[in-house]
Amino acid sequence: MTNVTEARLVKWPFILGDLLLVGAAGAIALIYRVNLLTHWELLVIFFVALALGAYLLVLPWILEFRGRVRLAESADLVTAAVQWQKAEELAAQIARTTSLWQGVQDHSGQTVAAAREIAERMAAETASFTQFMQKLDDGEKARLRLEVEKLKRGEGEWLQVIVRLLDHTFILHQAAIRSGKPGLIEQLGNFQIACRDIARRVGLVPLLPQVGDPFDAQRHQLREGQVPPSANARVFEILGPGYTFQSQLLRPALVELRTAEEFALAGGDPGEPIPPESAEPRLL
């Protein structure tokens, strides 16, 4: 708020004038005190002098009061002007802030739109990449499936080759047994054992039932033309070995069966059969 110096009025001239007028009225009253009431002109002059004296006495305070009132009004006007100026500055600041806020809001809208566009692009890229990976995964699965099928076919082929070779070694050993030559039997027996040991390294194991074992439909099979076995039928001769690959049955053993009575007629018991001479080893 602006400080305004208060003006003070000099009062002694008014007091001096008041004293002169009052003194003049007193002098008129003293001089003409007898004729004062009869001469109205003197009476008017007396009262006018008194009135002017009284007016001059209070006039400086009236003027000073008016000055103070005007000074206060001026101070209020100055304060109002200052407040109005501050209000204008505040309005200008509000306008600038509103403009800045509008700019920030516009920029935020642009940022949100850009972020939404980026999110949509990322979603599209993610979907495209997922689809590409799915196609790649499907292609890789198909390729792996094809490779597995190839490996299975190859495994089946080389298993068939090894089984055929083992069948041939079995036939050769059976032929050596029928020849009755101990040296040949021993050599071909060792050769067959060596071949079977090699096959065991890849999980291919011969399945050789014992003569006299009960018939097992899951592990034994009959040659063509043989009547299905009775309840007391037992293995009489091994016509071809069976095989298991990695503990799974690959092929059952080919056997010939005899009943207990047929074992007795052959001159032995089920544990020690007499191989018939007509039975020849065959390749499965």
In this structure, what are the phi and psi dihedrals at residue 254, rounded to the nearest 5 degrees?
-90, 120
CA distance 15 to 54: 10
Give the strand pairing for 253-258 and 234-240: antiparallel
CA distance 41 to 45: 6
Apex 240 CA angle, 206 and 234, nearest 5: 100
Cα separation, 58 vs 9, in Å, equals: 12
Q: What is the pLDDT along the chain (284 residues), one digit of tens a residue?
A: 444 455 566 667 767 766 776 777 667 666 665 555 556 666 677 677 777 777 777 777 777 777 778 877 787 788 888 888 888 888 888 888 888 888 888 888 888 888 888 888 888 888 888 888 888 778 788 888 888 888 888 878 888 888 888 888 888 888 888 888 888 888 888 988 999 898 888 888 888 888 778 887 788 888 776 776 676 778 788 888 888 888 888 888 888 887 767 666 665 554 444 343 333 334 34
pTM above 0.95, yes or no: no
b/e sequence 154-170, b meaning 16+ C-beta within 10 Å: eeeeebeebbeebbebb
Going by the DSSP 8-state scheme, the letter that residue 272 receives in this structure is: S
